[in-house]
Amino acid sequence: MNAAIQGLVIIIVGIGGCVSYFYLANQLLDKVLFPPRGENAGNNINRANLIRPWLFLFPAFFMIGVYIAYPVFETLRLSLTDRDAGDAFVGLANYQQMLREAKFWEAMRNNMLWLIVVPAATTTFGLLVAQLTDRIAWGNIAKSIVFMPMAISFVSAAMIFKLIYDTQSQNRDQIGILNAVWMQFEGGNGSFLFLRILPAMILLGFAAVAAYVCYLVLRPFFIPEERMGGLVAGALRVVAGAAAAYLAVLALLNVMDVFTVTLPYGKPLNWLTIPFWNNFFLMAIMIWMQTGLAMVILSAALRGIPQETVEAAIIDGATPFQLFFRVKVPQIVGTIVVVWTLITVLVLKVFDIVFALTNGNWNTEVLPNYVFGKIFSDLDWGVGSASAIILLGLVMPIMILNARSARQEMS
């Protein structure tokens, strides 16, 4: 069957099935089980109204049970058994084997790197675009362009960037944009300016931002009147401050490498095979796609800020920088947290981009791709299920935090 016709049939059957279910459920309640007639008409109406919401919720509960609850419990069971030994119970043996594999720790390390870079970069770019586009006449057009990548799938985005990162032999024209630009550098003054000075300035700026974030996060510990939150909030502040300080130090250490590394001028590079840095080339795809989501949510939050606070700050002589960071940003911290956690959940589940471009090779393995490889390539259901449970354990707290933040934001 033609794919378009098949999709149309699925849509018609799906919508028709839903409409038919709700119609027949109402008819069953009102005509058969509790007809609003006779002496018990009032009681029947009340009973029908009590049961009706549960009938309407039943399809959702059924789907959640079949496609979420059952797979979770079955995955947990598989992680504790050996399928090759007739589903014999092996306890934590699969988890022990998983922890002994270098590929698992590579996936965990890369996932942590994604968690540090992608949510921070996406939220920052989304916030900047939301703020800047509100100040220009063609802001809505700019927002539409930024949001456009959200309309394509991760695999499609990966194919687009595969062309950007494409590498041809040295004696052929480069169709990849990165290599086409790279081949223009020959080691002269322009190369020194763009490949030494500019990256060093970017790293120094990043280090300054990370140090400032560390200061903001840890400041309540040293200024009693700003102390807020309980033990959990304090622990989160310590972790966030340590991560920011680590990133600042790492950026400063890499400044020296920028000036000492030997660059292969005149030779096209296989960007996706360069260890460590290839992870950032993959992250760029996720950041490009999700910045639009962050922009839309944060733009709505910025528009919801009471104008009285902005006008009061302007009257008090606040500069645009102070107005943004000290007046606007503190009022949308809840929304920033929601956006951050949304992107974090997406990062923890990232699979398509890595699978389509590197399949976890060249030190780019991530946990979802590791799970896929173990179950479907190695047919190791025990270790694959164990790693899936680890992934679930990483995602669940963030989803709970996101739900709580969203509820608080709505209230």
State the pLDDT confidence band at 1, using cuts at 50, 70 and 90. low
β-strand partners of 46: none
- Provide the residue range defining the domain that includes 38: 3-79
State the pLDDT confidence band at 160, using cuts at 50, 70 and 90. very high
- What does the block give as tokens for 250? 């790492």
State the pLDDT confidence band at 409, using cuts at 50, 70 and 90. low
Whether 60 is in a domain gets the answer yes
State the pLDDT confidence band at 176, using cuts at 50, 70 and 90. confident
Same domain (yes/no): 22, 155: no
Question: Mean of the pLDDT values across residues 335-345?
Answer: 86
Same domain (yes/no): 308, 407: yes
Q: For residues 261 and 310, is the Cβ–Cβ distance under 8 A? A: no
Look at the alpha carbons of 380, 381, 383, 385 in this order and tell me if their dihedral is positive or negative: positive
**What is the average pLDDT value for the chain, to the nearest integer?**
84
CATH number at residue 397: 1.10.3720.10
Whether 90 is in a domain gets the answer no
Same domain (yes/no): 60, 150: no
Same domain (yes/no): 149, 213: no
Specify the long-range contacts of residues 70-77, CB closer than 8 Å, at least 24 apart: 72/392, 75/385, 75/388, 75/389, 75/392, 76/385, 76/389
For residue 87, pLDDT beyond 80:
no
Sequence-distant (≥ 6) Cβ neighbours of residue 410 within 8 angstroms: none
Total domains in the chain come to 3
Whether 241 is in a domain gets the answer yes
Same domain (yes/no): 277, 246: no
Compute the distance between CA of residue 279 and CA of residue 111 in angstroms, rounded to an integer.
10
Same domain (yes/no): 58, 139: no
Same domain (yes/no): 407, 295: yes
Is pLDDT larger for residue 402 or for residue 87? 87
Same domain (yes/no): 354, 246: no
Q: How far apart are the first and last CA of the chain?
A: 49
Question: Mean of the pLDDT values across residues 217-221?
Answer: 79
Q: Looking at 247, 265, 283, which one is the last position of a domain?
A: 265
Q: What percent of the chain has pLDDT over 90?
A: 11
Is pLDDT larger for residue 239 or for residue 160? 160
Compute the distance between CA of residue 237 and CA of residue 219 in angstroms, rounded to an integer.
10
pLDDT of residue 410: 65
For residue 228, pLDDT beyond 60:
no
Same domain (yes/no): 137, 244: no
Whether 98 is in a domain gets the answer no
Q: What percent of the chain has pLDDT over 70?
A: 96
Q: For residues 332 and 298, is the Cβ–Cβ distance under 8 A? A: yes
Same domain (yes/no): 337, 394: yes
Whether 92 is in a domain gets the answer no
Whether 46 is in a domain gets the answer yes
